[in-house]
Amino acid sequence: MHGKHQQLFDVLGCPETNEPLTRDGDALVSPAGKRYPIVGGIPRFVPSDLYVDSFSFEWNTHDQTQLDCHTGSTSSEDMFVQKTGLTREMLEGKLVLDAGVGAGRFTDVMSRWGAEVVGIDLSYAVEASHANFADRPNVLVAQADIGKPPFQHEVFDYIVSIGVLHHTPDTRRYFEALLPFLAPGGEIAIWVYPREGEYVTRSHWIPFTRRIPKKMFYQWCRWYVPWMKRRKDKAFVTACQRMFPISTQELGLENDILDTFDAYSPYYHWIHSLDEVVGWYEANGLTDAGTPHGVSTSVRGRKPVARGG
């Protein structure tokens, strides 16, 4: 934790009461005396990875596959802009929460743009992201539940959560759990799975695929995805693709293997319509809710400066 900007620690709070924490040796302590250990340089606010063991596995196996700073591409940056509409100019010098940091593909983008980023994740993906950003003083990673964020209220200028909330027990409730930590005038941008196409098909598969031991399913993906892609012009392969869609992001074979595993292995896989997501923003008093670049179920909205009540 040495060398990280103090500002990043100052926003941490007790997940139960959201009161400030103080440092006591290798732990953070709440005013009520509750201790949260710092293990391997990472503050831990949860006892384990609970229902997200698939993410613990995949992000420690593919810790750099999607990081632009590692691949030399701009695919994550392009996706970030497409799904949030946020730019370097908007984020530079701002305090941002990456809710569901994973291995850190979007934290990589934001921190390179000059933002101060706190990334949280329930899974042991934090081991990967902590290692990836060990030399960036403007990034702090913590293991915590998005449903009980370990922060003081109204501290973040921006909150982003791309492709994460639909993997929680209740997408809307976990979205709403983030809102108290957004500063007045701040913006929150999320992307969740749309209720369309292959996302619908996958939602039918999840009750079956999530039961498969992760290492076995990963081995299968490492065999099946290259096998399918070598035969992609065959009629029977296309039929298989429609019944069991694999990733076709054209970002390389490793990415497609990772993304296929990611699509079928989580415990929760919710799908939503754009109207539904915009409705969550409106019901919580957020303004200017809209899709930045026409990507369905990507929605960004603002917390009003002066709130009623």
Partner 1 sequence: MKTLFRWFSIVTVTVYLSLSLAYLLVRGRVARPKLGRILRSRLRRPYRGEIAEIQHEDGHCFVARVPGHIASDEEAFSHLVLMEGDEPLPNAHSAHAEIRRLGNGRYSHWGDTLYFSTSDNTDPRNNSRKYAIVEDR
Residue ranges that bind partner 1, judged by CB under 8 A: 79, 82, 194, 196-198, 201, 204-205, 208-209, 212, 215-217, 219-220, 222-224, 232-236, 238-239, 242-245, 248-250, 293-296
Smallest distance, partner 1 to C-beta of residue 140, A: 30
Closest separation between CB of residue 77 and partner 1, Å? Answer: 14
Beta carbon of residue 278, minimum distance to partner 1 (angstroms, whole number): 15
Q: How far is the CB of 270 from partner 1 (least distance, A)?
A: 16
Q: How would you classify the pairing of strands 35-39 and 42-43? A: antiparallel
Nearest-angstrom CA–CA distance, 185 and 306: 8
- Going across the sheet that includes 139-143, the strands are 139-143, 116-121, 95-99, 156-162, 182-191, 298-302, 287-290
Q: Which is nearer to partner 1, 151 or 199 (CB)?
A: 199
Judge whether 152 and 182 are in contact, CB under 8 Å. no
Shortest separation between residue 297's beta carbon and partner 1, angstroms: 10
Of the two residues 132 and 161, which places its CB atom closer to partner 1 in the complex? 161
Cβ 219 to partner 1, closest distance in Å? 4
User: Is the Cβ–Cβ distance between 162 and 29 less than 8 Å?
Assistant: no
Which residue number, 235 or 306, has a Cβ lying nearer to partner 1?
Answer: 235
Q: Is 264 helix (H, G, I), strand (E, B) or coil?
A: helix
**Of residues 197 and 304, the one with the C-beta less far from partner 1:** 197
Phi-psi region of 58 (alpha: psi -120 to 50; beta: other; left: phi over 0): alpha
For the chain, how far is it from start to end, CA to CA, in angstroms? 39
Q: Which is nearer to partner 1, 41 or 245 (CB)?
A: 245
Q: Which long-range contacts (CB under 8 A, 24 or more apart) does 168-172 make?
A: 168/268, 169/51, 169/268, 171/270, 171/272, 172/280
* Token reading at 76: 């994550």
Question: By C-beta, is 89 or 250 nearer to partner 1?
Answer: 250
